[in-house]
A = this chain, B = another copy of it.
Amino acid sequence: MDTKISAVADKKGIVTLKTIQHTLGKHTNLVTLVVLIVALGIMTGGRALQISSLQNLMVAEAVRAFAALGVGLIIINRGIDLSIGQVVGLVACVSASLAQTSDYAGALYPGTVFPVFLPIIVGIAVGTLFGIINGLLVAYGNLPPFIATLGTMSIAAGLQLIYTRASTIGSLKNEYKHIAQGSLGPLPYLMIYVLAAVLILWIMMTQTRQGKAFYAIGGNPQAARVSGINVKLNLLKVYALGGFLYGISGVLLSSRLGLANPLTGDGMELDAIAAATVGGISHSGGIGTIGGIFIGVFTLGIITFGMTYMGVDSYYQLLVKGMIIIVAVYFDMKRHAKRA
């Protein structure tokens, strides 16, 4: 039949066109990152682009990367999470309090010797617990995610102050600090953790039913529901997973800093969300990749790094950062424009 032949021809045309578009589309984020790196290289005469810079960058962004991965997954499921910074801060305080040297008189539990794994486990548990609460509120309480997590953000901030009595928790054990500060040859541990997390989450999102379910829920929750996917349960899962990742983020933060206080983590939510978005995660849900989030984190990272390296006045840094976020996402959005 004629129709079919033409349809086939049509399709071929579409495939090639689509493929190019797709490839280019995927690369918008990578292109931005590369452009920034090249620009930095030119502006510093190549000096900024050494191995040690890369290490610095990785280490600096690792903690944020976990938060961005968490919230990125949540945004793919049409959610948002404002509680990140405070939850990370709370986790950092709790884990730090369990990792203080036992002979430190100012410790929260002076004289008590906890095993090194305890702060890690408790910290991650606290993060996950907050994730579960967020998930319950959003999935089963039908609260808009913005508001549910605004509420838990406030609660986490309060708990942090109550727990620490507004003081700094320092003097952490060296074994504990080693978790984030150590390195394997030239490879900082933090970098290894991030790469491992990216790999595992990438497999989850592309190779398992769980990932397909997340994408479907983000793309069209009704369609997911009638396809037999338990939307509420999956929402709970993704918020819990987010909380779990914030937990890791908080533990690594306290370990890296060797301390924690109520200001720790403040404002991280905006950085994490910005990173995920710059990395191509769409706020209308269902679109984005783990690799994209990773790229997004490093795009913002290179901006901060570059401005730090070049000593840009901090007042102007805010200006530049705001503009770059807008421009980066603008180019990324151009390909989604027709869906608006």
Contact = CB atoms under 8 A, between A and B. Distances in A.
Interface of A: 80, 82, 137, 141-144, 146-148, 150-155, 157-159, 161-162, 166, 221, 270, 273-274, 277, 282-284, 314-323, 325-326, 329-330, 333-334, 336-337, 340
B284 A333 contact: no
A277 B144 contact: yes
Contacts of A334: 142
15 contacts: A80-B146, A141-B326, A143-B329, A143-B330, A147-B273, A148-B326, A148-B329, A150-B273, A150-B274, A151-B322, A153-B322, A154-B318, A157-B318, A158-B317, A162-B315
B150 A318 contact: no
Nearest to A153: B322
Contact of A142 (B317, B325, B340): B340
A317 B155 CA distance: 9
Contact of A144 (B159, B166, B284): B284
Contacts of A221: 340
A84 B272 CA distance: 20
B323 A155 contact: yes
Given A80-B146, A147-B274, A322 B154 contact: yes
A69 to B, nearest CB: 18
A76 B221 CA distance: 22
Contacts of A330: 137, 141-143
Nearest to A166: B315
Contacts of A82: 270
A336 B270 CA distance: 28
A148 B340 CA distance: 15
